[in-house]
């Protein structure tokens, strides 16, 4: 379905470019962006991750499967000014894996420890803005603008599986499962952006953009967890509870967020 929509948009652009007799500029457009997800994680987010962050970054291999996408519809008021609204979603997805050596330095077989962890959190962005075009020469266009930013942080989910195996018998002796949540929150503030576009046809372009903002955060503040552990063959033990945790409330500059864009005007 998405493929068919792109084909129709491109066909419309080519038809308009080839056969239109009007010299009126295209007023409406839409851009699709791939954004840096790692640049969107900073002090406010990590402050509310509580012991999940402490456990996560100590040992082992970390894999970042995060992704951030945006769609930005816009309307041109004139040749140099347009209004736009960015709707974006960022999925923070961090995976951690650790496996202890199977033998000690003395080559004596011992228990093996395997740790698997994950941190997942979604961030939704609603960012209206005004854009000014600085340079428009042939196929190249540069621009900048200001934004009003609102970000919504969903709860962070943390999973941890800790296992101990007896290598001499290849059996599981102990395990602990931990599932936890940290409260989300929101952030609001002012931002700015600069970028450039290269126009391949009258209504197809691609480029890059860099944005940042000063935001007031109100995020985190409570952490809840559910645990299950078992010393085999003893029965498993269950525990659950919630407790106050560090959060973040106050102003913070974001990191510079780079984006790659492809756009269509019509």
Residue 17 lies in a domain: no
List, for residues 179-203, the tens digit of each pLDDT value.
Answer: 999 999 999 999 999 999 999 887 8
Q: Look at residue 35 and tell me if it is in a domain.
A: yes
Q: Above 70 in pLDDT, residue 3? A: no
- pLDDT, tens only, 253-265: 999 999 999 999 8
If pLDDT is split at 50, 70 and 90, which confidence band does 27 have? confident
Q: Between 102 and 216, name the one with better pLDDT.
A: 216
Residue 107 has pLDDT above 60, yes or no: no
E strand or H helix at 45: helix 43-47
Residues of the chain by 3-state class (helix, strand, coil), percent to 5: 10, 65, 20
Q: How many CA atoms lie within 13 A of 242 on its CB side?
A: 8
Lowest-confidence region among 79-83, 101-105, 113-117: 101-105
Structural domain includes residue 16: no
Average pLDDT over residues 53-74: 88
Residues 35-60: pLDDT tens digits?
999 999 988 888 888 888 888 877 77
This prediction has a pTM of: 0.84
User: What is residue 130's predicted lDDT score, i.e. its pLDDT?
Assistant: 97
Strand partners, 183: none
Reduced 3-state DSSP string for 168-225: CCCEEEEEEEEEEEECCEEEEEEEEEEEEEEEEECCEEEEEEEEEEEEEEEEEEEEEE
Domain-embedded: residue 3: no
Query: In this structure, is residue 2 part of a structural domain?
Result: no
Count of the separate structural domains present in the chain: 1
Average pLDDT over residues 86-98: 95
Q: Which element (helix H / strand E) includes 236?
A: none
Q: How confident is the model at residue 109 (pLDDT cuts 50, 70, 90)?
A: low
Q: Give CA–CA dist 71/117, Å, rounded.
A: 31
The pLDDT value given to residue 203: 85
Query: What is the signed CA dihedral for 101, 106, 107, 113, rounded to 10 degrees?
Result: -30
User: Worst-scoring range by mean pLDDT, 24-28, 89-93, 226-230?
Assistant: 24-28
Residue 99 sits in a domain whose CATH number is: 2.40.160.20
The answer to whether position 235 is within a domain reads yes
Q: Is residue 181 part of a domain?
A: yes
Expressed as residue numbers, the domain containing 123 is: 27-265
Please check whether residue 21 lies inside any domain of the structure. Answer: no
CB 57 within 8 A of CB 10: no
């Amino acid at each position: 379905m998405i493929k068919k929509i792109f084909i129709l948009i491109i066909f419309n652009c080519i038809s308009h470019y080839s056969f239109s007799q009007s010299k009126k500029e295209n007023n409406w457009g839409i851009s699709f962006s791939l954004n840096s997800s790692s640049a969107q994680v900073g002090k406010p987010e990590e402050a509310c991750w509580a012991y999940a962050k402490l456990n996560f970054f100590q040992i082992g291999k970390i894999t970042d499967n995060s992704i951030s996408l945006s769609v930005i519809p816009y309307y041109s008021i004139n040749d140099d000014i347009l209004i736009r609204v960015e709707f974006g979603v960022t999925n923070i997805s961090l995976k951690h894996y650790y496996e202890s050596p199977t033998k000690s330095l003395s080559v004596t077989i011992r228990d093996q420890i395997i740790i698997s962890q994950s941190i997942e959190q979604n961030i939704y962005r609603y960012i209206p803005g005004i854009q000014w075009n600085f340079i428009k020469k042939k196929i190249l266009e540069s621009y900048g603008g200001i934004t009003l930013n609102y970000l919504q942080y969903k709860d962070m989910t943390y999973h941890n599986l800790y296992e101990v195996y007896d290598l001499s018998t290849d059996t599981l002796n102990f395990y602990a499962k931990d599932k936890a949540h940290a409260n989300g929150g929101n952030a609001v503030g002012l931002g700015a952006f600069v970028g450039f576009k290269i126009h391949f046809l009258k209504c197809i372009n691609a480029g890059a953009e860099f944005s940042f903002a000063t935001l007031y955060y109100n995020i985190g503040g409570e952490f809840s967890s559910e645990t299950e552990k078992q010393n085999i063959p003893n029965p498993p033990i269950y525990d659950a509870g919630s407790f106050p945790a560090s959060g973040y409330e106050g102003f913070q500059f974001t990191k510079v967020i780079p984006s790659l864009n492809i756009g269509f005007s019509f």
